Amino acid sequence: RFRVKVATLCHRALIWALRLVRRRVCVRSTHGFVFTNCTHGKADSVLETFDLYAETHPMLSIGPQIGEVLDEVVRRVCPLRVLELGMHCGYSSVRLLRLLPPAGKLITVELDPITADLGEEIILVAGFKHSQFQVLTCSSAEAIPTLSSVLESNQWTSDGISLVLMDHDPQQYLPDLLALEREELLCPSGCSVLLIKRNHTADDLRGIQDHIRERADCYCIKTDHQFMMEIFYQTQSVSVNNDSKA
Ligand SMILES: C[S@@+](CC[C@H](N)C(=O)[O-])C[C@H]1O[C@@H](n2cnc3c(N)ncnc32)[C@H](O)[C@@H]1O
């Protein structure tokens, strides 16, 4: 009985020590591990391989805990157009893509060119095609004003974006939300905006919370988990039979 307990404790201590030694997040190492060890073409295997890597290495991906909360939202919203700000190595992109309806499309934005290339390769390894997603390699502030034309050029036009995942720079959450509103990119009949909370201070999200309070006519906080806040945007009421939009 004690041998099992001691072995478990040793295993945990080893993982903890490895994480401590490998403090820096290495995008190439994450990509290399996932590329080599996952089953190509299987999104779930890609996610499991990321999780396995994260047991012994520091990683920036949302991981399985926040991932499951994200899955619940995607299943509920069933979004046709999704925008992700902060793709990194593609973990959350793969999580999103695997639950989209057949006509669903993802636009994902990553500032760092090397990370963007490696992340895009992981999405392809997971079995998704360029007809389902597009990676924009630039800052969110540069990407947002171009989104309408990106959607049009891919013939992905619809009522707007119905799910936004923000996991990039918390200082950009409010300016990017305002830019999305200004560019009329958020679906007027309803858009869920997910804000990932990592080691953010209360101040980081205060601006966005104040904005939601000031614009109570079109925003509400739907859920507020420890690691993720879901805000809901709606300017148009939707009738049950969808024929009388106010
Ligand atoms: C925490 S990681 C995202 C993790 C990813 N969502 C996942 O779960 O796999 C944040 C990423 O956002 C990128 N980033 C930071 N600021 C950005 C910005 N203003 N625009 C676009 N990407 C940005 C960083 O380069 C980094 O790769």
Per-residue pLDDT, 158 = 78
Say if residues 238 and 245 touch (Cβ distance below 8 Å).
yes
Q: What is the pLDDT of residues 143-172, one digit of tens each?
A: 999 999 999 888 888 789 999 999 999 999
Measured in Å, residue 207 CA sits from the centre of ligand 1 at: 20
Question: Which of 50, 89, 169 has most ligand 1 atoms within 8 Å of its beta carbon, as the pocket-test mutant?
Answer: 169
Please tell me the distance between residue 86's alpha carbon and the centre of ligand 1 in angstroms. Answer: 3
C-alpha torsion sign, points 149, 154, 159, 165: negative
pTM comes to 0.88
Between CA 54 and CA 30 the distance in angstroms is 9
Question: Who lines ligand 1 at CB under 6 A?
Answer: 60-62, 85-86, 88-89, 91-92, 109-112, 115, 139-140, 167-169, 172
| pLDDT tens for each residue of the chain, 246 residues long | 788 888 888 777 766 666 655 557 789 999 999 999 999 999 999 999 999 999 988 889 999 999 999 999 999 999 999 999 999 999 999 999 999 999 999 999 999 999 999 999 999 999 999 999 999 999 999 999 999 999 988 888 878 999 999 999 999 999 999 999 999 999 999 999 999 998 767 677 889 999 999 999 999 999 998 899 999 999 987 665 554 443
- Report yes or no: 189 and 245 within 8 Å, Cβ to Cβ: yes
Pick the CATH number of 62-233 from 3.40.50.970, 3.40.50.150, 1.10.540.10, 3.40.50.410: 3.40.50.150
Helices and strands (DSSP H and E) totals, the chain = 10, 7
Residue of 49, 51, 111 with the most ligand 1 atoms within 8 Å of its CB, for mutation: 111
Q: What is the predicted pLDDT for the residue at 238?
A: 66
**Domain ranges across the chain:** 62-233
The reported pLDDT for the residue numbered 174 is 95
Q: Angle at CA 136, nearest 5°, toward 224 and 203?
A: 30
Taken in order 8, 10, 12, 15, is the CA torsion positive or negative? negative
pLDDT of residue 246: 38
Mean pLDDT across the chain: 90
Index of the ligand 1 atom closest to the CA of residue 115? 27
Give the pLDDT of residue 19: 60
CA 83 – CA 187 distance, rounded (Å)? 12
How large is the ipTM? 0.99
